[in-house]
Amino acid sequence: MSEGSRGSPLAFGQVVIGPPGSGKTTYCQAMSAFLGQLGRSVAVVNLDPANEALPGPCALDIAELVTLPDVMGSLGLGPNGGLIYCMEYLEANADWLRDRLRALRGHYVLFDCPGQVELYTHHGALKNVFAQLAKWNFRLAAVHLVDSHYCTDPGKFISVLCTSLSTMLHVELPHVNVLSKMDLIEQYGKLAFNLDYYTEVLDLSYLVDHLASDPFFRNFRRLNEKLVEVIEDYSLVSFVPLNVQDKQSMKQVMQAVDKANGYSFGDQEHRSLEALMSAAVGADFHFSSTLAVQEKYVQSQDKAVEEEVMDL
């Protein structure tokens, strides 16, 4: 491990952020196991004071410093105010975090963060913690998880795009947006367009036109057009689809994150990755099949619409 500009060795990792229920903790455990198979020494750090039932091993837990139930009980705060207080308390006690992280030098660190959106869009505490980590020579990428079910509702998808853009601008880290739970997407409902339309965030005017067919959203067409213009003007938001049960999907996300934070692995890890991927052929649910299913799924919808038109 090379020496950083401030004398401490460089460390690499991810800050895993996103709304509640997007699969952050599941992602951390799955990515930890995947990277461990490649030979990386991985440590999971829980920075979510509301996460009391951790499903796997955790090298460092914020519960040693502060917990949400204690804050709510002693200060009479609700869940949202309590989480903000906890993050401000963590920021004020950054020395505690630095001392604990020293024991993890040499590890690739996954920071499992809270699920309150305000912490990533406009509140400064967690952003300042990330800035401190950078000063301590951590090279981090933000992995922003979004539940893929938002793709089935054009109105919600536009709101997700706005939230993702706001998060990217506020957090000020190299950023990878991820559509999580892709293995469940067919259960969520119909997609208006092919999956690559959502992952690549293609021409959003089609989404506005689709929304205009809904009587409720028709009244907000100008608002949606302006929101879409903001998203397209920045041209920053795109998504990597993720199914944590599929190694090919995990590989795609890992490569996107490694490119974002500058992590470079050696020949041994490359050989381990090749062996892992070759062993996965025929054994896993292939991620490419998810995309193929979606193509077939949308085409079948188009065919059904055509048949209805012909009947008319």
Domains belonging to the chain, first-starting first, are: 11-185+238-266 (3.40.50.300)
Q: Are 13 and 110 contacting, i.e. CB atoms less than 8 angstroms apart?
A: yes
Give residue 5's pLDDT.
45
Listing from the earlier edge strand, what are the strands of the sheet with 108-112? 60-61, 42-46, 108-112, 11-17, 138-147, 175-180, 240-241
Q: Please report the pLDDT score of residue 192 as a whole number.
A: 81
At residue 219 the predicted structure's pLDDT band, cuts being 50, 70 and 90, is confident
Q: How confident is the model over 10-35, as pLDDT tens digits?
A: 999 999 999 998 999 999 999 999 99
The Cβ-side half-sphere exposure at 167, using a 13 Å CA radius, reads: 30
Give the residue-averaged pLDDT of 177-181.
Answer: 94
Model confidence, pTM: 0.85
Cα separation, 157 vs 147, whole angstroms: 10
- When the pLDDT of each residue in the chain is averaged and rounded to a whole number, the result is 86
